[in-house]
Amino acid sequence: MDLVAKTEPDHDLTGYPPGVPYIIANEGCERFSFYGMKTILQVHLTTLFVAVGAANTVLAEEEAQKVVHLFIAAVYAFPMIGAIIADRLLGKYQTIIWLSLLYCAGHGVLAVAENSLPGMYLGLALIAVGAGGIKPCVSAHVGDQFGRGNWNLIPRIFQIFYFIINFGSFFATLLIPVLRVRYGTAVAFGLPGVLMLIATIYFWMGRHKFVHVQPRPGGKLGILDTLSGSALFLGLIGLPLFGTAFLTGGEFAVAVVGFTVLGLWIFKIRQRRAQDDGFLAVFLHALGALLSGANKTAKEAALGRGESGIARNSFFADAARRFGSEAAAGPAAVLRIISIFFLVSVFWALFDQHASTWIRQATRMNRDFDILGWSFTVLPSQIGALNPLMVMLLIPINTYFIYPAINRFWPLTALRKMTLGMFAASFAFVTVALIQQTIDGGQNMHVSWQVIPYLIITQAEVMVSITGLEFAYTQAPARMKSTIMGLWLLCVALGNKLVVLLTGFKGLDLADFFWVFAALMAVAGVLFALRARFYETQDYTQ
């Protein structure tokens, strides 16, 4: 692809960079594509499982639920690979272009093979790799366009970015279920694919206006980094998340060990060619020093010389001081943040169920409306449009009213916001469980009752998701910010895997399923509050 070699932003520019409209438009179309496809996934897969001989509708719903959450888990696990490819080998622009084409191919497969389970699996796999791969690249790419002169516009552009995501999601959730009913599933899956193709072409049209930050190191070393990172991803993350679905116990163990050893072996070859000073290199060096006792020796030597610095306070970072104090502090910072992120995974297990179990509940409710003589019936998949609509409304309400009111009585730090959000998520599942119990008792419940849990879970999202992104960014050393953002997205994958595991429990009806997650979230909220109480906040600015 012919590219103008523009690798740095114009630092004299005070307005918006010329490439921004292409990125924003691409993101809006891509999010319409993704959420449009996802909103009908639970309903469509249920019909497929019924068609292939599921014992009953409830069993078909549960099988569909497993596939939906495995798919979401894959979408949020693959950013680890996308980030490696973009940062180390191809650069963000090339990664976005090529994986977007894979994304479009996935939509094409869904549109032509919508009545085949193997076809659905193939299409979803292609979309998971494509959507997941570009996820860590697009927001970073828009940030790359700004220089010193217009750096003050960064907060505003990310507000626009978050708005366009929810704008695309809102209209997709309303429109695509209607298209499925009126014109069939092929059209409902095909239209998001067409929009994704248009988004990709429009993004390509902006190629000469973008700032293209070059990958480092690129070339042969970049290939080795990508191969090593991909093998380690499969061994340590990919197979543990997805391998048990198609591998026996012995095969699974061999595959996990094999890919992990292969990744470390390739990384060793890479280090022989040129020493890397990224997260993996620093972490393995520091871990080896800790196990061998060299860290203690290094710390005693540093104390003897009267040295100070951020790395010196880490339990194993002193032995890695040869990488520089900030790089040496990275592994310890990552481990601290993981202790926070791990508990947030339970939140995502609850939140993403508005694409599965909450749709299952809506199918059992009265969905007829009569407003001023206008009668209509809402489809189960359309109820999810409440979430992006409420996000767009709640962000300014929280910013200008709720947060300032709480701050008057209780200083509202990032971790305190997240703690409140996690308890709110638990309460949302208490309300949805009570609704389900009423339905199971034989009462005809109107779907408008779901507005209550949607409002509560969306408030939880605003407090946990948006605040968590800010927390992840500020708590990571500059060289580790991409790694931390990938780990944040990985929490979403772990949460969805938890849903898959609990879906497999026999005899757990929908109401009990909701109560289990309400309890899990309450326990995770308590543990999170305790961990937050003793977390030492850092502030690593760029």
DSSP per-residue string spanning 46-91: HHHHHHTT-SSHHHHHHHHHHHHHHHHHHHHHTHHHHHHIIIIII-
C-alpha angle 456-460-466 in degrees, rounded to nearest 5: 145
Cβ contact 264:281 at 8 Å = no
**What pLDDT does residue 326 have?**
64
Residue 408 burial class via C-beta count within 10 angstroms: exposed 0-12, middle 13-18, buried 19 and up: exposed
Q: Record the tokens describing residue 144, joined without a space.
A: 């790359």
Q: Record the tokens describing residue 318, joined without a space.
A: 């002193």
Residue 211 burial class via C-beta count within 10 angstroms: exposed 0-12, middle 13-18, buried 19 and up: buried
Q: Is CATH 1.20.1250.20 what the domain over 1-217 is classified as, yes or no?
A: yes
DSSP designation for 274? S
Q: Record the tokens describing residue 462, joined without a space.
A: 């605003």
DSSP designation for 400? I
Backbone angles phi, psi at 315, to 5 degrees: -75, -10
Counting DSSP H helices and E strands in the chain, the numbers are 22, 2
Q: What is the pTM of this model?
A: 0.89
Which spans in 184-322 are helix H? 185-205, 219-233, 239-242, 249-273, 279-292, 294-304
Q: What is the mean pLDDT of each run of 10 residues along the chain (542 residues)?
A: 67 91 91 94 94 81 94 93 89 92 95 94 95 83 86 79 88 95 94 93 93 89 95 94 85 95 96 85 77 62 53 55 68 80 94 95 95 90 95 90 93 93 98 97 96 97 86 69 78 94 84 96 96 80 47
Handedness of CA 404, 407, 412, 417 (dihedral sign): negative
Cβ contact 136:115 at 8 Å = no
* Buried b / exposed e along 154-191 (16+ C-beta atoms within 10 A): eeebeebbbbbbbbbbbbbbbbbbebbeeeebbebbbb
Give start-end residues of each CATH 1.20.1250.20 domain in the chain.
Answer: 1-217, 339-542
Cβ contact 525:382 at 8 Å = no
**What pLDDT does residue 341 have?**
87
* Buried b / exposed e along 473-501 (16+ C-beta atoms within 10 A): ebbbbebbbbbbbbbbbbbbbbbbbbbbe
Q: How far apart are CA 433 and CA 518, in angstroms?
A: 9
List CB contacts of 243: < 8 A, sequence separation 6 or more.
Answer: 252, 255, 256
Q: What is the largest CA-CA distance in the chain?
A: 84
- CATH, range 339-542: 1.20.1250.20
Lookup result for tokens 């767009």: 392
Per-residue model confidence as pLDDT tens digits over 105-123 = 999 999 999 999 999 999 9
Secondary structure of 194-233 in the HEC alphabet? Answer: HHHHHHHHHHHHCCCCCCCCCCCCCHHHHHHHHHHHHHHH
**Which run of H or of E encompasses 377?**
strand 374-377
Q: How far apart are CA 116 and CA 212, in angstroms?
A: 41
Query: What number of other Cβ atoms are within 10 A of residue 435's Cβ?
Result: 23
**What pLDDT does residue 303 have?**
55
Q: How far apart are CA 460 and CA 522, in angstroms?
A: 13
Nearest Cα to Cα of residue 101 among 224, 211, 233, 199 = 199
Cβ contact 514:437 at 8 Å = no
Residue 324 burial class via C-beta count within 10 angstroms: exposed 0-12, middle 13-18, buried 19 and up: middle
Nearest Cα to Cα of residue 231 among 182, 198, 268, 196 = 268
**Which run of H or of E encompasses 107?**
helix 92-112
